[in-house]
Amino acid sequence: MLVISGFDLSFYLSCIAKIPEDGMKKFFFFAILSIFLSSCKSNSDRLLKQAERLHGKILTVDTHCDTPMDMASDGFDLGVRHNEGCVDFPRMKEGGLDAEFFAVFTSQGARNDSTYDKVYREALNVLQTIHENVGKNASMAGIAVSPADAYKLKKDGKIAAFIGIENGYPLGKDISRIKELYDRGARYITLSHTRNNDICDSSTDPGGPEHNGLSQFGEEVVKEMNRLGMMIDVSHISDKSFYDVLKISKAPVIASHSSCRALCGSPRNLTDDMLLALKQNRGVIQICILSDYIKTPDPNPELESRLAELRNRYGNYDTIPEARRKIIRAEYNEIQKKYKKLATVKDVVDHIDHVVQVIGIDYAGIGTDFDGGGGVEGCKSVADMKNITAELLLRGYSRSDIEKIWGGNIMRVFKEAERLRGE
């Protein structure tokens, strides 16, 4: 039986089938269809209004966006609404998003002292750019370094800008850099990215594992992050690295932008066994809304052909100067927009459902990966965040449930990392 807002469509369609005259059948069919569509729109509007009210009362947090890659551009201003990209303060307000973790991303390159020094300086520059961009919009936002900061900024009607480090590669082999990053406001480090580094193996390195999980240096990194009260991010790392981290870490960990492998087979996602281990660790998985990590993509030869042509034209992204990367990202985004078939908000919430079913409501959150490829039909920027909440409401999630998913769970982990600092 198909019922929407109390309207039983299947019942009325069965009644229409009994009408003998074709003309009358057509009349009644379109009349019923009109009522049905109106009912759907009414229900959708009601859920969105309910979502908007809810966002006004709870803290909403996205744990990962790559918008800082655009901040180096002359004139980029988080305080201005942009037509391109996914994240800025006006659209965060529009979508009811209170807090964003801005990721300082560095792509993998050579692993030697001179390169480490260069990349580390680049990371510090990006971090400083975040501070400057937020600072010039002080009436709208503020840098946050603790859960208390986020709640206070929301109370003051401002956006909380957190900082995370995506890829531990800039650390090189220098453990002291962790504290410097922490002192400059970074509150998590994603231990690796798409390639192995000196900390651990990646889940997607084409050469396979190098350390068989965490390296000895990686073990020291985990301990130092625990000491500082800095959250450890296990997104992107290999399965063995994941389990090694959980053995060593005294504090709960986060997967800042990962989804469920049971629903989408990407090695970037967590298996059900990993979810169960995460629960034992008291950590949280922040569902990534990048389409390929939500739903296994169907064959798309035209998209693959366009991307292959882009790769052939520019070569290895990791070795290209930053100024040229901006051009590549723009072309890549345009190709994706034109040819990619995206997963939907419903598919995203399927992953949240799965986490809840396997390990419970206390371990799920949202990390969009906006401006790093994230975005699905129905949620292509921070302006659309309420659509996720509307879908959660449609599926019967309570206010308490939604509060945990949108911010409560990640803040719990954050507080616990702070509490265990120095132990």
Structure confidence at residue 307 (pLDDT): 80
**Structure confidence at residue 322 as a pLDDT band (50, 70, 90):** low
pLDDT tens for 224-260 read: 999 999 999 999 999 999 999 999 999 999 999 999 9
> Among positive and negative, which fits the CA dihedral 369, 371, 376, 378?
positive
Tokens of 423: 């132990």
For the stretch 252-275, what's the b/e string if a residue is b when 16 or more beta carbons lie within 10 angstroms of its beta carbon?
bbbbbbbbbbbbbebebbbbeebb
pLDDT at 308 over 50: yes
Write the single-letter amino acid at 273: D
d(CA 366, CA 407): 8
Tokens of 342: 């995206």
Structure confidence at residue 301 (pLDDT): 80
**Structure confidence at residue 29 as a pLDDT band (50, 70, 90):** low
Structure confidence at residue 4 (pLDDT): 41
Please tell me the least confidently modeled range out of 145-154, 338-347, 403-412: 338-347
Please tell me the least confidently modeled range out of 30-39, 49-58, 371-380: 30-39
- Secondary structure (DSSP) of 96-118: T--EEEEEEE------SHHHHHH
d(CA 51, CA 395): 13
What's the whole-number average pLDDT of the chain?
A: 90
Phi (first) and psi of residue 392, to 5 degrees = -60, -45
CB neighbours of residue 113 within 10 Å:
10
Phi (first) and psi of residue 183, to 5 degrees = -65, -25
pLDDT at 129 over 60: yes
User: 206, 251, 260: which is closest to 233 by C-alpha?
Assistant: 251
Q: State the Cα angle at 213 between 208 and 214, rounded to 5°.
A: 130
Supply the DSSP symbol for 286. Answer: E
Please tell me the least confidently modeled range out of 3-7, 61-65, 229-233: 3-7
Q: Higher confidence at residue 71 or residue 149? A: 149
Can you tell me which residue has the tokens 């792509």?
A: 107
CATH 3.20.20.140 fits 59-298+343-419, yes or no: yes
* Domain range list for the chain: 59-298+343-419, 299-340
Question: Which residues have C-beta within 8 Å of that of residue 313, sequence separation ≥ 6?
Answer: none
Alpha helices in 249-378 (DSSP H): 272-281, 291-294, 301-314, 322-339, 345-359
pLDDT at 27 over 80: no
pLDDT tens for 267-288 read: 999 999 999 999 999 999 999 9
Largest CA distance in the chain: 83
CB neighbours of residue 24 within 10 Å:
11
pLDDT at 380 over 60: yes
Please tell me the least confidently modeled range out of 4-8, 113-117, 289-293: 4-8
| Cβ–Cβ < 8 Å for 73, 136 | no
d(CA 287, CA 368): 7
pLDDT at 366 over 50: yes
In DSSP terms, 366 is beta-bridged to: 287
Structure confidence at residue 1 (pLDDT): 36
d(CA 119, CA 302): 35
User: 156, 150, 145, 161: which is closest to 79 by C-alpha?
Assistant: 161
Average pLDDT over residues 358-380: 97
Q: Higher confidence at residue 27 or residue 84? A: 84
Q: Higher confidence at residue 305 or residue 91? A: 91
Write the single-letter amino acid at 304: E
Please tell me the least confidently modeled range out of 71-75, 175-179, 264-268: 71-75
pLDDT at 114 over 90: yes
pLDDT tens for 183-216 read: 999 999 999 999 999 999 999 999 999 999 999 9
CB neighbours of residue 238 within 10 Å:
26
Average pLDDT over residues 393-398: 98
d(CA 240, CA 209): 9
Structure confidence at residue 19 (pLDDT): 60
Structure confidence at residue 18 (pLDDT): 63
pLDDT tens for 155-175 read: 999 999 999 999 999 999 999
Percent pLDDT > 90 in the chain is: 76
| Cβ–Cβ < 8 Å for 414, 225 | no
